[in-house]
Structure 1
Amino acid sequence: MQQNPDQRIQFEICRQYDGVGMTSPRKRQKLITQLQAQGALKTTKVADVMNMIPRHLFVDPAFSHRSYEDCALPIGHEQTISHPSTVAIMTEWLLSDANNPVRKVLEIGTGSGYQTAILSALCDKVYTVERIPDLSRQAQEKLQQLQAGNVEFFTADGHWGLPGYAPFDAIISAASPETLPYELVEQLKIGGRLVMPIGSHPQHLYGFIRHQDRLEQVALGDVSFVPMRKGVAQ
């Protein structure tokens, strides 16, 4: 599925939302340099996009001064915006197979919309699912501000994905189920990639690659995410 490239988030739009002081481009660049030194960011492509997206736009104003620290921050409804290092690791792994470009991606757990924005800048088409209607609406407003025209929002139970829009080149989840939902695996194309945390205490981040006759699993480290809950929040 080819999309018009101007539907993706563009640098010229993002720069209109650059802040000052603790939300300045200088602070954002410092974070990117830190992530590169840690090894969380390995490619220029992902680093440039994370350096473009104004993370402070997706953070509660009370915490905006911490937007460019490598930490998770509350966004309401007992949800958080993920550590930038975790976002970097998940995004890098998802896009790491040059032979299988990620044009069409499914995101489970829209949350603040920050990861959605990064995917919008890197992929042709993003489908994002959130079970909390208020968070979905807020994220949609932020993405509209950034003029992301290649994102479709859904309020639904992420366990089931979006079978009507499958297959996907890649799936990324910001919520942790107890076990791998095979409904999501079945929505991957052959050669497609899924990255998600699994478990409760402790949680581990895994990457999965769907082959014709098997599912390859890659351990990507320990993480801390909100649990993947069933149903749509009222």
Structure 2
Amino acid sequence: MTSHRQAGVKARPGFPARLGPIQTAVPPPPAVSRLASHRPAPAPTGLGMDSSAVRLSMVNKLAQQGISDKRVLAALGQVERHRFVDSALVNQAYEDTSLPIGLGQTISKPGVVSRMLELLLQGQTSRLGRVLEIGTGCGYQAALLSHVCSEVYSIERLRGLHDKARDNLRPFRLANVHLLFGDGMLGYAKGAPYAGIIAAAGGEALPTCWLDQLAVGGRLVAPVAAGAQSPGRQALVVVDKTPQGLRQTVMEAVHFVPLKSGIA
């Protein structure tokens, strides 16, 4: 079920305060790769599929399943998911299924990605401000976020995936996407506060630093372990940071790769 916003809660910031110094002691900040502004390169040929037609079909199916935010649907229609999967899996790119991207990681189902983006944007009438993505993976969700957020900081702990995402995103030349290689469990204090935080991996609990780096009025969407009563299961959790404190809402069951610390 979906939570309703409490009366009197301020709208989430459209764009949090500009970057400031790190507030707490953390390891040296990860390197940031910036993607300069330019139009996307032409779609690759020889795929044996009309990518625009199958992408539209995917969007229509997601709309029928309940995704109603027009900004999310528009982003899904614009970002070519087949650019982010291996060539051997390209014919499955627009199916509502997760696919392996290497190093034991996956690109999430379009249905799950769209659901999380819709929750992140819920209640926002304009473009969301600065957002932190935990787990860049192959870069697909970062590309989607670039269409609905003013600025995206995306952090990945696996060097191989960080490099893959950089290569995947380079043709799009997204000026508002910054890729970081580092420990996502630490967040990225230099970019805080964030209007939104979204995580593509689930742990036993939400790291405190994520909540600290979330702006007042901001929202966090992440999978979290369901608890001892449901071992091995995860649930989608939404946390709103209000002037009165944190408000958490547990949503539906999901399945994500485990949240891990460190870099590799």
Q: Same fold (TM over 0.5)?
A: yes
**AA at the equivalent of 2:247:** E
**AA at the equivalent of 2:65:** Q
**AA at the equivalent of 2:131:** V
Equivalence for 1:193: 219
**Higher Cα Rg, which structure:** 2
Distance 1:115 1:23, change over 3 A: farther
Q: Is the 8 A contact 1:101 1:169 kept in 2?
A: no
Q: Distance in 1 between matches of 2:196 and 2:236?
A: 16
Q: Is the 8 A contact 1:43 1:92 kept in 2?
A: yes
Q: Distance in 1 between matches of 2:63 and 2:235?
A: 22
SS of residue paired to 1:88: helix
Alignment of 1:211-230 (within 5 A): 211-230=242-261
SS of residue paired to 1:140: helix
Distance 1:23 1:224, change over 3 A: farther
**AA at the equivalent of 1:193:** R
Q: Distance in 2 between matches of 1:30 and 1:8?
A: 31
Picking from 36, 48, 66, the partner of 2:92 is 66
CA offset digits 1:100-139 (Å, max 9, x no partner):
8521000000001000000112111110100001111111
Picking from 129, 133, 136, the partner of 1:103 is 129
Equivalence for 1:35: 62
**AA at the equivalent of 1:32:** V
CA offset digits 1:55-92 (Å, max 9, x no partner):
00001111111000000000000000000000000001
**AA at the equivalent of 1:157:** D
Q: Distance in 2 between matches of 1:107 and 1:130?
A: 9
Equivalence for 1:180: 206
Q: Determine if the alignment matches structure 1 residue 26 to structure 2 residue 17.
A: no
TM superposition outliers: structure 1 runs of 4+ over 6 Å: 7-10
Q: Is the 8 A contact 1:167 1:189 kept in 2?
A: yes
Q: Is the 8 A contact 1:195 1:207 kept in 2?
A: yes
Structure possessing the higher relative contact order (Cα contacts under 8 Å, 6 or more residues apart) = 2
Q: Determine if the alignment matches structure 1 residue 157 to structure 2 residue 183.
A: yes
**AA at the equivalent of 2:53:** R
Equivalence for 2:3: none
Alignment of 1:41-120 (within 5 A): 41-98=67-124, 102-120=128-146
Q: Which one has a larger percent helix, Structure 1 or Structure 2? A: 1
SS of residue paired to 1:145: helix
**TM-score in terms of structure 2 length:** 0.81
Which of 216-225 and 171-180 deviates more?
Answer: 216-225
Q: Is the 8 A contact 1:23 1:65 kept in 2?
A: no
Q: Percent identity?
A: 37
Gap regions ≥5 residues in structure 2: 1-14, 19-34, 226-230
Q: Distance in 1 between matches of 2:75 and 2:36?
A: 11
Gap regions ≥5 residues in structure 1: none
Which of 99-108 and 124-133 deviates more?
Answer: 99-108
Q: Is the 8 A contact 2:127 2:150 kept in 1?
A: no
Q: Distance in 2 between matches of 1:8 and 1:94?
A: 25
